[in-house]
Amino acid sequence: MRPYFSGTFGNASSVHSFGRDAKMALEKSREAIAKAIGAQSGEIFFTSGGTESDNFAIRGVAHAARKHGKNHIVTSAAEHHAVLEPCLHAVVPQSGTQACEKLKEDGFDVTILPVDSSGLVAPEQVRDAITDKTCLVSIMHANNEVGTIYPIKEIATVAHPPTADGVVVHTDAVQTLGKIPIDVNELGVDLMTISAHKLYGPKGIGALYIRRGVEIDSLLFGGGQERGRRPGTENVPLAVGFAKAVELAIAEMDVESKRLASLRDKLELKIRESFPQAIINGHPTERLPNIVNISFDNSKIQLEGEMLLMNLDLRGIAVTSGSACTSGSMQPSHVLLAMGRDEKTAKASLRFAFGKSNTEADVDSVVESLHQIVTQMSN
């Protein structure tokens, strides 16, 4: 990234030589990211991150579909807030408890599908929810809190029946890019959200894959960048960093995913052995290799989630109680509540996410520290 902060600092939309050099770097980055997910480079649109990409997908499709009389969106109760909130505010942003009423007043309806105890949505649920008014199905590729991987290929199949007009399918793949194989054509999705920061890339850049032919309105206006769909001066250094992070992650994915899964499994085994009050959240087999989410059953032991986090942090162990985007609020995870956990159990939850620097020694240290903390808190 360094040369594009200094030497090659031209505006990629300018026609002079400095701009052309920056443009070349931008387009090479676009091509590398497209290749990683089986897309064409012209189907990749840079954004400021996963949240903007989710909003772009949901609100952009909703606005475009309204012109054709389609006004129904299908999503799940376990989605990231960057999906749930724009779904409830898809037409006119509105805060407070009147969001759903306002949405209906504007002619939109949202079906929020329940998830099972492992966080899964079944393709049959999606099929049954789709009507002739449905314009969009948005189901994440893998859950950011519990790691459950969703059957997106099967969901896309029911949304794209061969004998009828298909529904646009969007998936948030921020958690899966670089962790498990992704191919937009194999999955059958029309829109996909990805982001750099989950791959050790720079924060503040993401992308939205938009399949050719998908009708989608822009959220921003004022320039012709990103082929008019996402105006604003392109952030070339971040795009270059994003592409390099993707390249490295894909090259290491097979080996690194196996290593992370080994650490995940070791931590789960030790937690089961040490804490009979603990519940392992998420699907037992269809899950990401790097995430472990546990709850302490409030009917067996009463623990305060905030104190668990603080005490672990004091020992140099960085965990969250949910996604990093919402854990600062210390509210019970909406994902765990949707999975059937009671509020107090959901609050006494920890999300461990393994990364490149973690080792087996870290697992032993975490379990030892957690045992000491739980013993102190329960006395």
Distance of CA 50 to the CA centre of its chain: 7
279 contacts 345 by C-beta, under 8 angstroms:
yes
- C-alpha 348/C-alpha 223 separation (Å) is 47
- C-alpha 28/C-alpha 12 separation (Å) is 12
Q: How far is CA 278 from CA 105, 283, 334, 339, in A?
A: 44, 15, 19, 15
Element holding 123 (H helix, E strand): helix 123-129
Residue whose C-alpha is closest to residue 159's, from 118, 193, 125, 186: 125
DSSP string, 246-304: HHHHHHHHHHHHHHHHHHHHHHHHHHHHH-TTEEEES-SSSB-SSEEEEEE-TTT----
Helix (H, G, I), strand (E, B) or coil at 41: helix
Residue 121 structure tokens: 């949505």
Q: Is 325 a catalytic residue?
A: yes
- C-alpha 276/C-alpha 343 separation (Å) is 19
Q: Which of 87, 100, 135, 325 is catalytic?
A: 325
- C-alpha angle 114-118-119 in degrees, rounded to nearest 5: 40
In the chain, the amino acid numbered 82 is A
Tell me the CB-side half-sphere exposure of residue 88, using CA atoms within 13 A.
17
DSSP state of 205: -
How do strand 191-195 and strand 206-210 relate by DSSP bridges?
antiparallel
DSSP state of 118: T
Q: Which residues pair with 215 in a beta bridge?
A: none
- Positive or negative, the CA dihedral 282, 79, 189, 43 is negative
Which residues are tagged catalytic? 325
